[in-house]
Structure 1
Amino acid sequence: MILNVSGSNEQLAISPERLIVAGYTARDEAAVAEHIAELEAIGVPRPAGVPAFYDLDPALLTTDGVIEVDGPSTSGEVEPVLVRHGGRYFLAVGSDHTDRDLERADIAASKAACPKPLGETVVEIGTGMSTLDWDSLTAVSSVDGWTYQKGAVATLRHPADLLERMAAAVGEISGDLVLFCGTMPLLRSEFTYGGYWRMHLELPAGTLLAHAYETKRRSL
């Protein structure tokens, strides 16, 4: 998979050793507990720990504009994504597309059932993430032209914090890594199963990391 570094002509040919999707990453622990209770009420099982870390197949990552899904009840969600390549860190935008029917039985399986779209353009944030102004970022997603999510990334745990917690949960990861850093609440408080998804991260100075994709049913 080829990613383009914003502000330069550099291209990254990435083949990450691990793909980790983090869930329940809000800084407000009371809000996380409330969200878990809401999901539990509609049949989504309670996670074993918070934040939760789902270790998925890196082959799920894609920059394609069309992804295939198994059923009608799937949906995306905008996430800031940390990419570590050759010891350097980059920020991207992605979507943790998930099978919501399967989620009621097995969260990890529901995430593994769908590709994980990733924007082709990334911003380098330094080996120690020192240039990442996390609290100034805004994340937005839409489905079929309707705004689905919009919120400040400051509500989520900083990726440096997530890396430490991830190591405690799944062990140290020394090689190349893609880490989905979590998302914000849905504006309508319910999943929408649309066909066209668009998401972006708004960075300071007007930089935009964006990606769009369509879903289609997988042929049997």
Structure 2
Amino acid sequence: MTSAAVPLNLHVIDTGEPLSVSPERLIVAGYTARDQAAVARHIAELAAIGVPPPATVPAFYDLDPGLLTTETVVEVGGPSTSGEVEPVLIRHGGRYFLAVGSDHTDRQREREDIAASKAACAKPLGEWVAALGSEPTAEDWDGLIAYSTVDGVPYQRGSLSTLRHPRDLLERMNAALGDADGDLVLFCGTLPLLGGEFLHGRGWRIHLELPGGTVLTHAYETKRRNV
């Protein structure tokens, strides 16, 4: 069931322009690396630990926009969850913006149902965004750097040159799910883990470094949900 999304109160980093965004759709893209051989190896690695392969590559998970949050504390349902830094494309009022987000996921459920594992967790999003204009293209997508830490430990770091361009993702998303008009939030994929294994820490910091040194960032902590 889709819940009523709380409006996201965002700000454009260069101008301070406020944005109140209530997206009609939240799509999380997976397996978005440009290197298809690397994608195939990753799918095989996940299959070895019981994670089912995706129906399509890239994969697109159509989730409840109510999962999006800019809060600094998010509730999780169990101990086996973890985040991942991602560039996030936002379409609002016919304009595009770039943000940093975390595809926080329940790794226990992931072995049974990837979509359910993603739907089980909030999707943290930084409140400061960069304006892209009327087209979904960053000034220098391949030069952007994403990195994350968990409980102060370096967790991910790399260039977005390894990921599909957001224009390509939008085209493939529309082909897979049907044309999506209106306000949209699209998580564009993530980078390999530096240590090769998921960490289930509490404190997450995610960063997206833009040309010129400007950094979009967000920090959040997880809290076990009372049941």
- For 1:203 and 1:174, how far apart are their aligned partners in 2? 27
Structure 1, gaps ≥5 residues long: none
Of the three residues 5, 30, 34, the one matched with 1:27 is 34
Paired residue for 1:179? 186
Distance apart, 1:162 and its partner CA: 0.1
1:200 and 2:198 are equivalent in the alignment: no
1:149 aligns with 2:156: yes
Q: Secondary structure at the match of 1:157?
A: coil
Q: CA shift at 1:126, angstroms?
A: 1.3
Q: Are positions 1:79 and 2:86 aligned together?
A: yes
Q: Distance in 1 between matches of 2:197 and 2:188?
A: 21
Structure 1 outlier segments of 4+, above 4 Å: none
Answering whether residue 184 of structure 2 is matched by residue 165 of structure 1, we say no
SS in 1 for 2:133: coil
Superposed CA RMSD in Å reads: 0.7
Cα 1:130–1:178 change in 2 (3 A) is closer
Name the residue aligned to 1:62.
Answer: 69
Q: Counterpart of 1:128?
A: 135
Distance 2:48 2:138 in 1: 40
1:154 is paired with a residue whose SS is helix
Question: How far off is 1:9 after superposition?
Answer: 2.6
Cα 1:108/1:131, change in 2 over 3 Å: closer
Q: Percent identity?
A: 71
User: How far 1:133 moved relative to its partner?
Assistant: 1.2
Match of 1:12 in 2: 19
Deviation, 1:128, is 1.3
Count of residue correspondences: 220
